[in-house]
C-alpha cells in the first residue's frame, strides 16, 4: 500500500492521491503507468522553506520506497514552478532553524539527484535559483513557454554551492554553465531549449506531464536495476562529494549568509520583490 503514517490517500479516477497533512506537496500515482507526480503547493511562489523541503524529502522517499516507475516534479501554481529558496529563511535567520533549513536542502538534493527511479520536471512556471536546482536534479525537463529558468545567485550577491553547479553541469556544457553562473543568467524557455537546459517545450501543464511520462516510459524495456545503477554511477562522484563535505558545506553556508554585506543584499532584494509585488 502506497502510504506512510503521515500520509492520507484518496482515489481520483485511476489515480491514487497521497498528500501530506500540511499539504505543501501532493503525490499522485497514476495506476496505469505507475508514475508518481509530485506537486509543490506552497503559496504564493513555492518558496523553498524548511517545511516545504521536509515535505519534498518525505515525498521523494515515499516514491522511492513504493517502487513507483518514475517521478515527475511539478507545481500547483500556474505561473511559478518554484521561486527558489525562501529568502526569509536566510534573512535575519534563526540560528537553529537555518541549520535545519540548509541540511534539509542538502537532503532533498541528495534524494532527488541520486534517486533510483527515473525523474522528470514538468516546469510549468518560472524556475529561478533553487527552482532551477530542483529541475536540473531531474533527468529530463519539459517547460512551458514564456517563463524563465536559471541560477541567478550572483545577481543576488550570493554564490551557488558546488553541488548546485554539479546539477547544472550534468545538463549543460561546461562553458555555457560557467558563463551563465557567473552572469547569474536567467534563460527564457526558448533560450533554455536552445542551450539544452531543458529538453522539450509543451503548451500546457498536461502536455508537459505527458511528455515527462513518455520520457519515463522510454525505460520500460530496460532492466530497472541496471538503469538505476548506471544512473547512480554517472552521479556518484557529485553525490559523494556532498556526502563527504556536508558539515563543511553547512558551516560555509552559515558563515557566508551571516556576513553583514550578504544580509544587507538579501534585505534589499526582499524589499525590491515586495515593491514590485505592490506595483
Ligand atoms: C558556499 C556556500 C554559500 C551559500 C550561499 C547561499 C546559496 C543560496 C542558494 C540559492 C539561492 C536561492 O534560491 S535564493 C532565491 C532566488 N529566487 C529569486 O531570485 C526569485 C525571486 N522571485 C521572483 O523573481 C518572482 O517573485 C517570481 C518570478 C518567482 C514570481 O513573480 P510574481 O510576479 O508572480 O510574484 P511576486 O514577485 O509578486 O512575488 C509574490 C510574493 O512572493 C515573495 N517572494 C518571491 N520570491 C521569493 C523568495 N525567493 N523568497 C521569499 N519571498 C519571495 C514576494 O516578495 C511577494 O511577497 P509579498 O506578496 O509579501 O509582497
Q: Is 234 a pocket residue for ligand 1 (Cβ < 6 Å)?
A: no
Beta-strand relationship, 70-75 and 35-40: parallel
24 assigned to active site: no
Q: Is 273 a pocket residue for ligand 1 (Cβ < 6 Å)?
A: yes
Q: Is 2 within the bounds of a domain? A: no
Q: How far is CA 261 from CA 84, 101, 158, 252, in A?
A: 21, 21, 10, 15
Sheet (strand 127-128) strand order:
127-128, 148-150, 187-188
Cβ–Cβ under 8 Å, residues 116 and 63: no
Q: Is 46 within the bounds of a domain? A: yes
Q: Is 53 a pocket residue for ligand 1 (Cβ < 6 Å)?
A: no
Distance separating alpha carbons of residues 73 and 114, to the nearest angstrom: 15
Strand, coil or helix: what is 138?
coil
For residue 127, give the DSSP letter. Answer: E
Marked catalytic residue, from 70, 105, 153, 242: 153
What's the gap in Å between 201 CA and the centre of ligand 1?
24
**Angle at the Cα of 69 from the Cα atoms of 63 and 71, rounded to 5 degrees:** 50
Q: Is 161 within the bounds of a domain? A: yes
Q: Is 225 within the bounds of a domain? A: yes
Q: Is 17 within the bounds of a domain? A: yes
ipTM of the complex: 0.97
Marked catalytic residue, from 130, 131, 150, 184: 130
Cβ–Cβ under 8 Å, residues 71 and 118: yes
Q: Is 80 a pocket residue for ligand 1 (Cβ < 6 Å)?
A: yes
152 assigned to active site: yes
Ramachandran class of 187: left when φ > 0, alpha when ψ lies in -120 to 50, beta otherwise = beta
pLDDT of residue 15: 61
- Which residues make beta-bridge pairs with 200? 142
Nearest CA to ligand 1 atom 22: 83
Residue written as cell 533510483? 116
Q: Is 79 a pocket residue for ligand 1 (Cβ < 6 Å)?
A: yes
85 assigned to active site: yes
What's the gap in Å between 71 CA and the centre of ligand 1?
25
**What is the chain's Cα-based Rg?**
18
For residue 186, give the DSSP letter. Answer: P
Q: Is 62 within the bounds of a domain? A: yes
Q: Is 218 within the bounds of a domain? A: yes
Cβ–Cβ under 8 Å, residues 208 and 123: yes
Domain that holds residue 24: 7-278
Among 251, 256, 277, CA closest to 266 = 256
**Which of 45, 106, 163, 261 is the pocket-test mutation for ligand 1 (most atoms within 8 Å of CB)?**
45
Cβ–Cβ under 8 Å, residues 188 and 170: no
Q: Is 1 within the bounds of a domain? A: no
Cell matching residue 242: 556532498
Marked catalytic residue, from 50, 85, 110, 242: 85
Contacts of 169 (CB under 8 A, 6+ apart): 177
Cell matching residue 136: 536540473
Cell matching residue 161: 554551492
Sequential pLDDT tens for the chain (279 residues) = 232 323 444 444 556 555 445 689 999 999 999 999 999 999 999 999 999 999 999 999 999 999 899 999 999 999 999 999 999 999 999 999 999 999 999 999 999 999 999 999 999 999 999 999 999 999 999 999 999 999 999 998 889 999 999 999 999 999 999 999 999 999 999 999 999 999 999 999 999 999 999 999 999 999 999 999 999 999 999 999 999 999 999 999 999 999 999 999 999 999 999 988 777
153 assigned to active site: yes
Specify the pTM. 0.94
Q: What is the CATH number of the domain that holds 81?
A: 3.90.226.10
What's the gap in Å between 120 CA and the centre of ligand 1?
23
Domain total of the chain: 1
Amino acid at each position: 500500500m502506497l502510504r506512510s503514517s503521515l500520509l492520507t490517500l484518496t482515489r481520483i479516477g485511476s489515480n491514487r492521491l497521497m498528500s501530506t497533512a500540511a499539504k505543501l506537496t501532493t503525490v499522485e500515482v497514476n495506476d496505469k503507468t505507475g508514475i508518481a507526480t509530485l506537486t509543490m503547493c506552497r503559496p504564493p511562489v513555492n518558496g523553498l522553506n524548511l517545511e516545504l523541503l521536509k515535505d519534498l524529502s518525505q515525498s521523494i522517499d515515499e516514491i522511492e520506497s513504493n517502487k513507483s516507475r518514475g517521478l515527475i516534479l511539478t507545481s500547483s501554481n500556474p505561473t511559478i514552478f518554484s521561486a527558489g529558496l525562501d529568502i526569509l529563511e536566510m534573512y535575519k535567520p534563526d540560528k537553529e532553524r537555518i541549520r535545519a533549513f540548509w541540511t534539509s536542502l542538502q537532503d532533498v538534493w541528495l534524494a532527488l539527484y541520486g534517486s533510483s527511479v527515473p525523474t522528470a520536471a514538468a516546469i510549468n512556471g518560472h524556475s529561478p535559483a533553487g527552482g532551477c536546482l530542483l529541475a536540473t536534479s531531474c533527468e529530463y525537463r519539459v517547460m512551458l513557454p514564456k517563463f524563465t529558468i536559471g541560477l541567478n545567485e550572483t545577481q543576488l550577491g550570493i554564490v551557488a554551492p558546488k553541488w548546485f553547479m554539479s546539477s547544472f553541469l550534468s545538463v549543460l556544457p561546461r562553458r555555457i554553465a560557467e558563463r551563465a553562473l557567473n552572469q547569474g543568467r536567467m534563460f527564457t524557455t526558448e533560450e533554455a531549449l536552445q542551450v539544452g537546459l531543458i529538453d522539450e517545450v509543451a503548451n500546457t501543464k498536461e502536455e508537459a506531464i505527458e511528455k515527462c511520462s513518455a520520457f519515463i516510459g522510454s525505460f520500460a524495456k530496460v532492466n530497472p536495476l541496471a538503469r538505476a545503477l548506471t544512473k547512480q554511477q554517472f552521479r556518484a562522484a557529485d553525490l559523494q562529494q556532498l556526502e563527504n563535505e556536508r558539515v563543511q558545506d553547512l558551516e560555509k553556508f552559515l558563515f557566508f549568509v551571516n556576513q553583514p554585506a550578504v544580509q544587507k543584499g538579501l534585505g534589499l532584494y526582499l524589499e525590491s520583490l515586495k515593491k514590485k509585488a505592490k506595483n
